[in-house]
């Protein structure tokens, strides 16, 4: 494992490489207001056991990467991920896949739709479309759009999660539609999702499965799928392992 830093325009991003350039590389994208440590480090170490290389990095405005709260927008996150892919190439790696969790899954899929060399996308508990989630929060009175716009940022507690987001995040939501990205991506897509996800409705992953995504269902599991992490690690290792054959099909 080695640390690395790279730039997306004038923002410096921080990450860690696992593995060597001789192995196909998977870029890992963490969740909203999270970082590349904790679960992403475990996934990176897991994929290493399948002889795969990994770049896990912090999105701008997250973790140890530069950037303020204002950088926590879909547009910036997709561009951060594209910069991570390009940086990996510059370092001699052959980037073949993307894995993302929750928000990171959605961002990774959008980046994959713009990157022909990506042939496999793994998505764990993906958020396919944030617009209906925030519409529900507004309707329930949990989010005050007027106050959010006036103050420029929102600090919101949802379960055990705390989100601090700029109003620009909300303005960019119409363009952040996972179903559009799934339609445009040429990669094979594998999704794991719990039926009792309290944050991202499972029904959206069911819809994605009718559009060609491969779905593995975890009955009774919530957004974190904590009790199934070992199996999920194995699922994605098995999914990405065929990339070891450079000429392998999707």
In the chain, the domains with their CATH numbers are: 2-129+176-244 (3.40.50.1820)
Is the alpha carbon torsion for 126, 129, 132, 137 positive or negative? positive
In this model, does residue 225 exceed pLDDT 90? no
In this model, does residue 246 exceed pLDDT 70? no
Give the model's confidence band at 157: pLDDT under 50 very low, under 70 low, under 90 confident, else very high.
confident
pTM value? 0.93
Point out the least confidently predicted range of 104-113, 127-136, 145-154. 127-136
**C-alpha to C-alpha distances, 177 to 127, 181, 182, 184, 208, nearest whole angstrom:** 9, 7, 9, 11, 12
Task: State residue 106's pLDDT score.
Answer: 97
Task: State residue 247's pLDDT score.
Answer: 47
Give the model's confidence band at 136: pLDDT under 50 very low, under 70 low, under 90 confident, else very high.
confident
Minimal CA–CA distance to 88: which of 30, 1, 32, 20? 20
Quick: pLDDT tens for 20-66. Answer: 999 999 999 999 989 999 789 999 999 999 999 999 999 999 999 99
Burial class (CB in 10 A: 0-12, 13-18, 19+), 199: middle
Quick: pLDDT tens for 61-81. Answer: 999 999 999 999 999 999 999
Quick: pLDDT tens for 184-217. Answer: 999 999 999 999 998 899 999 999 999 999 999 9
Structure tokens at 152: 């420029």
């Amino acid at each position: 494992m080695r640390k690395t830093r790279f730039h997306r325009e004038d923002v410096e991003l921080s990450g860690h490489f696992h593995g060597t350039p001789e192995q196909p590389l998977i870029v890992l994208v963490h969740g909203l207001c999270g970082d590349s440590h904790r679960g992403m480090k475990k996934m990176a170490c897991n994929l290493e056991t399948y002889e795969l290389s990994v770049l896990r990095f912090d999105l701008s405005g997250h973790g140890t990467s530069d950037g303020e709260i204002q950088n926590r927008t879909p547009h910036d996150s997709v561009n951060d991920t594209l910069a991570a892919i390009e940086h990996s190439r510059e370092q001699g790696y052959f980037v073949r896949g993307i894995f993302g969790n929750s928000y990171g899954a959605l961002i990774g899929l959008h980046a994959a739709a713009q990157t022909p060399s990506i042939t496999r996308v793994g998505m764990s508990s993906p958020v396919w479309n944030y617009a209906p989630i925030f519409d529900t929060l507004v309707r329930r009175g949990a989010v005050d759009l007027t106050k959010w716009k006036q103050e420029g940022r929102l600090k919101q507690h949802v379960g055990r999660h705390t989100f601090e987001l700029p109003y620009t995040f909300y303005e960019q939501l119409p363009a952040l539609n996972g179903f559009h990205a799934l339609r445009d991506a040429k990669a094979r897509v594998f999704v794991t999702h719990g039926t009792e996800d309290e944050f991202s409705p499972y029904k959206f992953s069911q819809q994605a499965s009718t559009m060609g995504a491969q779905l593995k269902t975890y009955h009774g599991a919530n957004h974190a799928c904590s009790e199934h992490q070992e199996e999920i690690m194995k699922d994605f290792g098995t999914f990405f392992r065929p990339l070891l054959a450079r000429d392998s099909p999707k």
